[in-house]
Amino acid sequence: AQKITQTQPGMFVQEKEAVTLDCTYDTSDQSYGLFWYKQPSSGEMIFLIYQGSYDEQNATEGRYSLNFQKARKSANLVISASQLGDSAMYFCAMSPDQTGANNLFFGTGTRLTVIP
């Protein structure tokens, strides 16, 4: 069975600083995908970044990067140069495939607060 663990219920970061949100996962599958989503107070889920298990390079999307350490089964999200608009819930998720055929399993989330 797949499991996603986010051990930081809440995090604070100073504006313009970088922050790392932790995510570990457990799976016996060889092929899987890892996702990060942002959920602002308005409630919508915004896709941020994706990493496939066979991708050798860490994924990056603008200020977001995914620090993928396969042997440790970790997929931490790094946000550089934090902005006030980054304050939100962040969810790590995993799918036991890289094709879109299956469910996404979510962690419990980390609430990030950016301090001016």
Partner 1 sequence: DVKVTQSSRYLVKRTGEKVFLECVQDMDHENMFWYRQDPGLGLRLIYFSYDVKMKEKGDIPEGYSVSREKKERFSLILESASTNQTSMYLCASRYRGRIPEAFFGQGTRLTVV
Q: 3-class SS at 85? A: helix
For partner 1, the closer of residues 19 and 32 by Cβ is: 32
E-strand stretches of the chain: 3-5, 10-14, 19-21, 24-26, 33-39, 46-52, 60-61, 64-69, 74-79, 88-95, 105-106, 110-115
Return phi, psi of residue 92, to 5°.
-95, 145
DSSP 84: G
For partner 1, the closer of residues 56 and 71 by Cβ is: 56
Taking CB under 8 A as the binding criterion, the range among 11-19, 20-28, 73-81, 92-100 that sits at the site for partner 1 is 92-100
Please give the residues from 28 up to 67 whose contact with partner 1 meets the rule CB under 8 A: 33, 35, 37, 42-45, 47, 50
Question: Does residue 108 interact with partner 1 by CB under 8 A?
Answer: yes
**Which residues in this chain contact partner 1 in the complex, by CB under 8 A?**
4, 6, 9, 33, 35, 37, 42-45, 47, 50, 91, 93, 95, 97-109
